[in-house]
Amino acid sequence: MLPSLFLAHGSPMIAIEDTEYTRFLGTFASALKPKAIVIFTAHWESEVLSITDTDDVYETIYDFGGFPPELYAIKYEARGSKELASRLAERFTQKAIAVRKDARRGLDHGSWTILHRMFPKADIPVVQISLHPFLPPKEQYRIGEALQGLGDEDILVIGSGVTVHNLRMLNWSAAGTGNVEPWAEAFDDWMIEKVTSRNLEALDDYKTQAPHARQAVPREEHFVPLFLAMGSGDPKRVPQVLHRSYDLGALSYLCFQF
């Protein structure tokens, strides 16, 4: 039985850098044998939940600029699964969650940078799902709940985002040091306590209760995949921190399993 995961995708450079975090991704994934992967990505926003619907090889989307040429040379040539996409759509529909299928969408860097490090052979079918960033955490959790039990079928559900993601607050002098800004650390400390105790009431009110919430989450798109992953996991399993590290002082690589 596979857990659901919240994984940080941070900088696109994780696709080519050798760091504590990228080594973790490879080592952790080596123990997983998913038959398929379902991934909610912070880089695909839509008011109506959208699901990739193809059996073909995905286009690799380079939705960033100013990075080294070798990053743009990577192609993550996984295939989709129309059969799984239809099953997911049916699950959402049964929960009165509006959904549409998208036959043309490729894999954005919220998906392929992580998957490239975890499953470099790209031989596992992938279905990518969009998110609506402005729904409250409880509603994101409810959307995730529609996918509960997929882990029992060895289908891996991933929410790809970042807990602390404020590009204006990055400390470039901290690059490669692992040093963390106190405010970012305090926010993640609060998140760990509330997530591992499944305190959904507090999490739903994080903007008021969490320290430095405005700095850590200036916009919600990278934050809400946490609740999608949490909702899709086993509600009887105690959430666990899988990894915690930082780059540039305020870019969190905090990861959970559910």
Domain boundaries, the chain: 5-257
The token pair at 5 is 């995961």
5-257 CATH, one of 3.30.479.30, 3.40.190.10, 3.40.830.10, 3.60.110.10: 3.40.830.10
| CA atoms of 236 and 248, how far apart (whole Å) | 36
Strands 99-102 and 255-257 come out as: unpaired
Q: Could you tell me the pLDDT band of residue 75, with boundaries at 50, 70 and 90?
A: very high
pLDDT exceeds 90 at position 168: no
Mean pLDDT of 69-87: 98
Strands 255-257 and 5-8 come out as: antiparallel
Q: What is the mean pLDDT of the chain?
A: 97
> What percent of the chain clears pLDDT 90, i.e. is strictly above it?
95
Residue 135: Cβ within 10 Å count: 17
Per the model's pLDDT, the better-predicted residue between 177 and 129 turns out to be: 129
| CA atoms of 180 and 253, how far apart (whole Å) | 11
pLDDT exceeds 90 at position 174: no
The token pair at 30 is 């080596």
Q: What angle do CA 111, 72, 35 make, to 5 degrees?
A: 30
pLDDT in tens, 17-38: 999 999 999 999 999 999 999 9
| CA atoms of 186 and 188, how far apart (whole Å) | 5
Instruction: Give the CA dihedral 12, 16, 18, 23, nearest 10 degrees.
Output: 80
> What percent of the chain clears pLDDT 70, i.e. is strictly above it?
100
